[in-house]
Amino acid sequence: MIRKTILSLFLLFILAEYLFAQGTGDIGVVIERNSGSVVIVNTTSHQVVRRVEKLGNLSHATGVFSRDALYFFTFQRDGWINKIELLTGKVVAQKKAGDNAIGGAISQDGKYIGISNYQPGDIKILDSDNLEILKVIPALYTTKAGEQKQSRTVGLVDAPNHRFFFALMDAGEIWAVDTRTPDFPILHQWKEVGNYPYDALMTADGRYYITGFLKSNWVVRLDLWQLEEGPAKVSTIDPNLHLPKVPMYKVPHLSGWGIADGKAFTPMISEERLMAYDLKSWSPLQSVPTYGTVVFAVPRPDQREIWLSFAGPKNDTLQIIDVATQSSVKMLKLGKSISHIQFTPRGEAAYVSVRAKDKVVVLDAYTHQQITELSVQGPSGIFFTNRAHVIGL
Amino acid sequence: MRQVLILFLVCCLAPFVIAKGVIANKQPPRLSEASKARVLMTLREDCANCHGLYRLGGLGPALTPERLKVYPVEALALIIEHGRPGNFMPPWKDVLSKEEIDYLANYLLTVEPTPPEIQMRGEK
């Protein structure tokens, strides 16, 4: 009798496991900025699956996925990192690793988390398992007055051959750290690359690290195949197009820089245009006038279109640029504070957070028609699990 | 050049407004509820981009009453209105009315931001 009961319970357990087994390939995380929570969404059913609350200050929060796409690590303005298990919504580890953080990365082998801090100016490297802090790398530099200071750090990404790359905002430098060697040595320090780097990106093939500047009229590209050549500067000035400088109500984000058709479509500071650069020769091609100053330039995964969001009073509009003709094909008024655009892994749909309307709009990537909308409180960043397998994200 | 001019204006105004600032703090400009909502929406949706949702600073400096208390309310209103050229603080005069800007300056000086707490999870 007892043996029968145990056997039935065992079979029931196996059946339950089979029935409720879930993958994470079609889920993602949406930051609810104003309420210190995130929601986990399913991109097959286009539904909110669960909400994870009391995470702290999620202003400007971003994050990365573990390589098994089971965990999401938040990088928060208050310096906290929360490790969230996606299938249960449980916070399985947390750590305060700064006082004012701006972003982070996960190492190529998935073992380490890097967090980039404004305050104190450093990056910290943590064990991705339990979030123990393993190394603090202060972003030390010498000011023109000869004073030693710590710079705010930006644009931290993982790179091929176990590297972290990041830029020093106040120092105007780019550094590379080796994440394979236990002491995490600094391998490169390129100095005087430009004034006030504000963000950077790694191309999805892991070849180019591109940095934008607030106060220099150039963009810098590092070719990881030829690091000895150092950072290559290319001008942001278009001799053929003189647009007026306009107020910039929000600084562009580069993780979505439009890499498409062998070109980098780069947002310009205080100007309503993108500049297209040939990625390989790193030479300027031409400007693409835009509706406003661009915050995100996100290529559709097939790279035929680039979807743009804007700053300030024009942030209620999504503009779609056709890459082949480099012209505007659609303007969609979705509501105040369009703050992020993310395509589903195979690119059939786009999720757009419309923060002031408390909703995420799901659009068909090809017809541009609305599929549905999700009720999400103050949505900002959107992250899908396919990012777990892309270098630099 | 514009930056020097604005700095000059702020310096000229300072002696007059320091005393008045105290009074102004006590008597924030009267605004319609819709205008107040617009100001708070701008603070939450636009200012927060650089200064943080809880005004603790980011790309731009912190905007807490503690840090701002050295500034007269009129000086703050001037900076909001005209921006700080060269420092990426944009002018807000095309977005908010003069009264709304005065209200915002007053709000920044008097209302403390309260960041949400984090759920503690055992030993850190």
Give the pLDDT confidence of A186-219 residue by residue, as tens digits. Answer: 999 999 999 999 999 999 999 999 999 999 999 9
Three-state DSSP class for residue B12: helix
Q: What is the CA radius of gyration of chain A?
A: 22
Is residue B15 scored above 50 in pLDDT? no
Helix/strand/coil (H/E/C) assignment for every residue in A288-318: EECCCCEEEEEECCCCCEEEEEECHHHCCEE
The pLDDT confidence band at residue B88, using thresholds 50, 70 and 90, is confident
Contacts of A281 (CB under 8 A, 6+ apart): none
Contacts of A276 (CB under 8 A, 6+ apart): A263, A264, A265, A266, A284, A285, A286, A287, A288, A326
Is residue A17 scored above 80 in pLDDT? no
Q: What is the mean pLDDT of residues A306-327?
A: 96
The pLDDT confidence band at residue B22, using thresholds 50, 70 and 90, is very low
**Confidence (pLDDT) at A13:** 77
**Confidence (pLDDT) at B2:** 55
Name the average pLDDT for chain A: 95
- Structural domains present in chain A: 57-192 (2.130.10.10)
Whole-angstrom distance, CA of residue A199 vs CA of residue A133:
24
Residues of A in contact with B50 (CB under 8 A): 250-251
Nearest by CB: B116 against A57, A96, A100: A57
Report the CATH number of the B2-110 domain: 1.10.760.10
Residues of A in contact with B59 (CB under 8 A): 198, 251
Residue A94 near chain B (CB below 8 Å):
yes
List helix spans (H) across chain A.
2-20
Percent residues over pLDDT 90 in chain A: 91
A315 is written with which tokens? 């942030």
**Confidence (pLDDT) at A197:** 97
Percent residues over pLDDT 70 in chain A: 98
Is residue A221 scored above 90 in pLDDT? yes
The pLDDT confidence band at residue A115, using thresholds 50, 70 and 90, is very high
Q: What is the mean pLDDT of residues A169-185?
A: 97
Residues of A in contact with B91 (CB under 8 A): 247
**Confidence (pLDDT) at A69:** 97
A392 is written with which tokens? 């630099």
Domain locations in chain B as residue ranges: 2-110
The span from the first CA to the last CA of chain A, in angstroms, equals 55
Which of 225-254 (A) contact B at CB < 8 A? 247-251
**Confidence (pLDDT) at A3:** 82
Cβ atoms of B60 and A62 within 8 Å: the answer is no
Whole-angstrom distance, CA of residue B11 vs CA of residue A63:
43
Å between A57 CA and nearest CA of chain B? 6
Three-state DSSP class for residue A220: strand
Is residue A289 scored above 70 in pLDDT? yes
The answer to whether A56 contacts B54, with C-beta atoms less than 8 Å apart, is no
Q: How many CB atoms lie within 10 A of CB B66?
A: 8
Whole-angstrom distance, CA of residue B75 vs CA of residue B72:
5
Residues of A in contact with B45 (CB under 8 A): 315, 336-337, 355-356
The answer to whether A214 contacts B45, with C-beta atoms less than 8 Å apart, is no
**Confidence (pLDDT) at B21:** 44
Who has greater pLDDT, A2 or A165? A165
Residues of B in contact with A33 (CB under 8 A): 53
**Confidence (pLDDT) at B19:** 44
**Confidence (pLDDT) at A257:** 76
